Structure 1
Amino acid sequence: MLELFSYSLDYTTLVLLFLVAFFIGMAKTGMHGASMFAVPLLAIVFGGKVSVGLMLPMLIMADLFAVKYYHRHANWYFLIKLFPSAAIGVLVGTWLGNIIDDQVFKTIMSVIIFASLGLMLWMGKANKDSIPDYLWFALMMGFVGGVTTMVGNLAGSVMALYLLSMRLPKNEYIGTAAWFFLAINLFKVPFHLFSWESIDLNSFLLNLICLPFIALGAWVGIVIVKRIEEKYYRWLVIGMTGLASVLMLF
């Protein structure tokens, strides 16, 4: 066992933590399905609610890498429509997390992952013109994204559904998502600190030792996204999401 910043971790747990950091880095630079795999891994080791707080600083670190690389490609027209309802969703998610126990918390995370998988499968079959660029749709997706990102850091698929339905090019899609998640993840920090108390100095120091693996994952994600074909990329995300749902459920 290793004693790190008040955490007692065996070597297997430490390797899983670094693997989660690597997946988060990959996810933020375009391999979005990787984050769906990271969420249940961390929840299995640390528990649902604790894992959400532990993951948040890692997500913000990875968001900074993504924004640095893709910031020129962001589409602010869509971001401005998403932010207000997403902030309300974060407030609702904070309230929800305060009234349920950890087992229910993990069950909700599993349901969200299953629903995300269904949404992505539906997106693969839906006519792109069937989802109009209406304000109500942006507000709904922003709200759902806010709730799911607060409850389980699981808004990736919600944002994928919205941004891909808007027919954004690959780099513009990644850049817009990067700015959205950086802003909303920073907005979540005070609620984790003062309401859930799921982030403290020890958890942040544990996050910092994961930074090299986040950076490595971000670089790998950039390289893969440049090379992978669109049809294979989509099915990779769907497959990883399905595996994540099974891990969370059992």
Structure 2
Amino acid sequence: MAGFGWDVFAVGVFAAMFSGISKGGFGSGAAFAGSSILALFVDPGTALGIMLPLLMLIDATSVRAYWRKWSWPDARLMLLGALPGVLFGAALYSVVDDDVIRLLIGTICLVFVAWQVMTRSGAIAKSRTNLPRAAGVVAGIITGFTSFVSHAGGPPAAVYLLSRGLEKTTYQSTTVLVFWIMNIVKFVPYAFLGMFTLRTLTVDLFLAPFAVLGAWLGVKAHRLVSENLFFGLTYLLLVVTGIKLIWDALG
């Protein structure tokens, strides 16, 4: 299929559906697991290039439900920081090899899991006071960078937005808006760096229905599946994936 083996297609189906389920039902924080797992089967740039249009499609199907329910002041600050973060990610990607990107993605996987486990266990207390608005720009820079190199912008965005004391729907709507716009911005340097090819776009055509199906299943799973079960399986996947990517990068 489009020059890829059927193993890549099968993993791509899983990655697209997992990202849709995560974004549709459990927030966007863990959605990057799909591209991380795909990076085990193709080079990181190809994995990121395949996943970005799918993430944009998922964003487009989600943003309508949250239209104008977001906190625009917080979203604006994060987006102001996201632009230099994305540009820094693009500059780094243009000068390093695939193993450095594998190392970055693998490290982000393990740091994400460690942070989530410590936060949920209470080892790290969640902020109970609003961070200053300037922190939104800093969070945006980190979000833009991690989103560019691994589609893993959710955690730094959450650290800032959760500190703002936003109501649940406002919080979700703000994350949807931020990543909808950020992924559109990322599309330009991705294209300039050659991360989209006829092969990746052809694969996206095959995977698009699975991404939309995943988003729909995520809404259903939100009501039926324990959040602890979902994230427990996600953390296991990320630990195994992160270790394998780091091993490949260093080996």
Instruction: Name the TM tier (shorter chain).
Output: 0.7 to 0.9
**Structure 1 residue aligned with 2:112:** 116
* In structure 2, C-alpha distance between the alignment counterparts of 1:234 and 1:169, rounded to whole Å: 22
Report the CA distance between 1:246 and its aligned residue.
Answer: 3.2
* TM-score, normalised by the number of residues in structure 1: 0.86
Distance 1:230 1:77, change over 3 A: farther
**SS of the residue 1:197 aligns to:** coil
What amino acid maps onto 2:40 in structure 1?
I
Unaligned runs of 5+ in 1: none
Partner of residue 13 from structure 1, selected from 1, 5, 8: 8
Query: CA shift at 1:45, angstroms?
Result: 1.3
- 1:226 maps to 2:223: yes
Q: How does 1:142-157 map to 2 (within 5 A)?
A: 142-157=140-155
Which letter does structure 2 place at the counterpart of 1:222? Answer: V
Q: What's the CA shift for 1:237?
A: 5.5
Deviation digits for residues 41-79 of structure 1, max 9, x if unmatched? Answer: 210111112211221111101111121233353222210
How far apart, in 2, do the equivalents of 1:168 and 1:121 lie? 23
Long gaps (5+) in structure 2: none
How far 1:105 moved relative to its partner? Answer: 1.0
Cα distance in structure 2, aligned partners of 1:26 and 1:231: 15
Q: Percent identity?
A: 24
Residue 69 (structure 1) aligned with residue 53 (structure 2) = no
Choose which of 188, 191, 207 in structure 2 pairs with 1:190: 188
Separation of aligned partners in 2, 1:128 and 1:13: 39
Whole-angstrom CA distance in 1 between matches of 2:239 and 2:159: 16
Q: In 2, distance between residues paired with 1:137 and 1:237?
A: 28
Name the structure 1 match of 2:246: 249
Conserved in 1, the CA contact under 8 Å of 2:22 and 2:30? yes
Q: How many residues align?
A: 244
Asked whether 1:22 is paired with 2:20, we answer: no
1:47 aligns with 2:43: yes
The separation in 1 between residues aligned to 2:160 and 2:231, in whole angstroms, is 15
Which residue number corresponds to residue 172 of structure 1?
170
Query: 1:242 deviation in Å?
Result: 3.4
Quote the Cα distance in structure 2 between the aligned partners of 1:230 and 1:13.
28
- Which residue identity is paired with 2:10? V
Q: Secondary structure at the match of 2:41?
A: helix
Cα RMSD between the aligned structures?
A: 2.3
1:95 corresponds to which of 91, 94, 111: 91
Confirm whether residue 134 of structure 1 aligns to residue 132 of structure 2.
Answer: yes
DSSP-derived class of the 1:210 partner: helix
- Compared with structure 1, are the counterparts of its residues 232 and 20 closer, same or farther at alpha carbon in structure 2 (3 Å cutoff)? closer
Give the counterpart letter for 1:50 in structure 2: T
